[in-house]
Amino acid sequence: MRVQNIFFYLSVLLCCVFTLSSCSEDLTETNKGYDVLTLTADKEVINLNENDAALTALTLKWTSGTNYGTGARLNYKLELREKGSTEPTEPLLNKRFNDQELSYAFTVRELNDYLHAAGISLTYGETVEVEATVIAEVVGYEDYEQNSSVSFKVTTYEPVSETLYICGDATEGGWYVEQMGVCSLVDNQQPGIFNITATLTEGKDFKFFTQMDFSSIAYVCAPDGEQILSDGMTTNIIQKVDDTVDDLKFQVTETGTYKLTIDLLNNTLNIVKSTPADPAFNTLYFVGSFTNWTFKPMKQDPVNLFVFLYGDVFTWTPDGEFKFGTMDGSWDNMYMATQDKAPYTDTNVKLGGTDQKWVLKEEECGKAYKIRLDITTGQEKMVMAPFEPYTEISLIGDATPAGWTLPSSAPMTKIDEYTYQWTGNLTAGEIKFTCDNQSDWMGAWFMAVENGLTFEAGEYDMYWIDKTNPDYGYGSLDNKWVVTDPGNYTITLNQATEKLLVQKN
């Protein structure tokens, strides 16, 4: 019995020891003693530079302060204001700090943006004396609030634009706001350095805008820079805000695809010729019930060589199936649907594998469709959409009676829903066809498959070029036929099949 009592008393004693130890630790955690709250800055003078946007500009540290023996926790908030100002300033980023957070580091970009947004530095490039104040709040004891301040001088900078666009008749988008090419930041953490890969045409102009707006700030060639660019060159650029800066646009010495790097921080433009990857196939075929399983060649898109085009009136044929061949007459390596009997609205595509086709239902037939098949690796996509025929097609060009005036005075005669015809005299010169007489020339057109093709008797493929859709990149495309043999012609145009029949009378 005596031994059992001894063990009992020892157990109680140990429990008391552990309890006291735990209480001691808790008190140590919440007992901040009587430390004086002190805020320090690691720099007294700071010159902010946007080239260092992601680097640390300033670190503020503070001691814990005291909770006056209450055992209550401490929270902190940080305020910045111009030294000597009594105007209230919202806590930094509306962020408070707990008693485990006794410092805060500003990046260059963050500090510059905050000083301006808070109204401390309203003029970029100026030097301001800033006072930082840390406020310690004893939770539940408002009267025990403490604060400490430190001051430092900061020279701010004017940040460059966060967006940049390329525009000009040297680009695919031409001189049209809605067709501007979007430049991308090289590093999202480092503003001011953009790049874009673009196809540029020799002898034509381009420049850069900070917004999709011709009245926005532009970047052009600096007076000491090179306007005519070739592979590997770097030239100086300058910000054009008004007419005091000459509008010196850029050109390239050779038509091609280029990677452009535009550094707004150091005002330079670098150009490197880029060799785009070739599509896996240069010819594709539409095949299925609607072709009696014969292979019908598709047209390669005039801008994106990875895209293939097909158009026709789809008349119901039993099964209503279709897919795409990569070689005339070959059933191997075909582009197909990713599910069996996929609806024509299913855009998913696979190359090879199980024989799965798209299906057009009987009630969906009896009208024209346009197909765009994109075979870009990893981005394969089939888009098939009903085609609404235009109600008026007209000739335009200096070979026609209309000349280059819109609306055209040389309309074609409607034969049926999709077919239009015109008979008349053509002179030597250029010709194409407008679908809507849109006065800004950014409407829909039927154009030659190559610019400068001779307009003579025969049947030709055409491109339906819808410039109202910016996704296609057709803004600067302008493929015209050339009439070299003046005379009387009959022209028949089919919108559905994109075929042009020319007869010399």
pLDDT tens, position by position, 266-298: 999 999 998 767 899 999 999 999 999 999 999
pLDDT tens, position by position, 45-97: 999 999 999 999 999 999 999 999 998 999 999 988 888 877 766 655 567 89
How far apart, in whole angstroms, are the C-alpha atoms of residue 251 and residue 190? 28
Length of the chain: 505
Q: What is the CATH number of domain 39-155?
A: 2.60.40.10
How far apart, in whole angstroms, are the C-alpha atoms of residue 51 and residue 49? 5
pLDDT tens, position by position, 461-498: 999 999 988 788 888 889 999 999 999 999 999 999 99
User: Average pLDDT of the chain?
Assistant: 90
Same fold, 39-155 and 394-504: yes
pLDDT tops 90 at residue 25: no
Share of the chain above pLDDT 70, in %: 91
Fold of 285-386: Immunoglobulin-like (2.60.40)
* DSSP label at residue 26: H
- Give the Å distances, CA to CA, from 382 to 221, 348, 374, 385: 42, 6, 6, 10
pLDDT of residue 473: 83
pLDDT band at 18 (very low <50, low <70, confident <90, very high): very low
Q: Is the Cα torsion angle 389, 395, 396, 397 positive or negative in sign?
A: positive
pLDDT tops 50 at residue 9: no
Phi, psi of 24 (to 5 degrees): -60, -40
pLDDT tops 80 at residue 26: no
pLDDT of residue 30: 52
Q: Which two tokens stand for residue 6?
A: 């001894």
Instruction: Say if residues 133 and 79 touch (Cβ distance below 8 Å).
Output: yes
pLDDT tops 60 at residue 2: no
pLDDT tops 60 at residue 15: no
How does DSSP assign 383-400, residue by residue?
A: EEEE----S--EEEBTTS
pLDDT tens, position by position, 115-127: 888 888 778 889 9
How far apart, in whole angstroms, are the C-alpha atoms of residue 365 and residue 373? 20
Domain positions in the chain: 39-155, 165-273, 285-386, 394-504
pLDDT of residue 7: 40
Phi, psi of 183 (to 5 degrees): -90, 145
Is the full-model pTM beyond 0.85?
A: no
Instruction: Say if residues 50 and 108 touch (Cβ distance below 8 Å).
Output: yes
Fold of 165-273: Immunoglobulin-like (2.60.40)
Using DSSP, state whether 18 is helix, strand or coil. Answer: helix
Q: What is the CATH number of domain 394-504?
A: 2.60.40.3620
Using DSSP, state whether 115 is helix, strand or coil. Answer: helix
CB-based contacts of 415, cutoff 8 Å, min separation 6: 421, 492
pLDDT tens, position by position, 171-219: 988 899 988 999 999 988 889 999 999 989 999 999 999 999 999 999 9
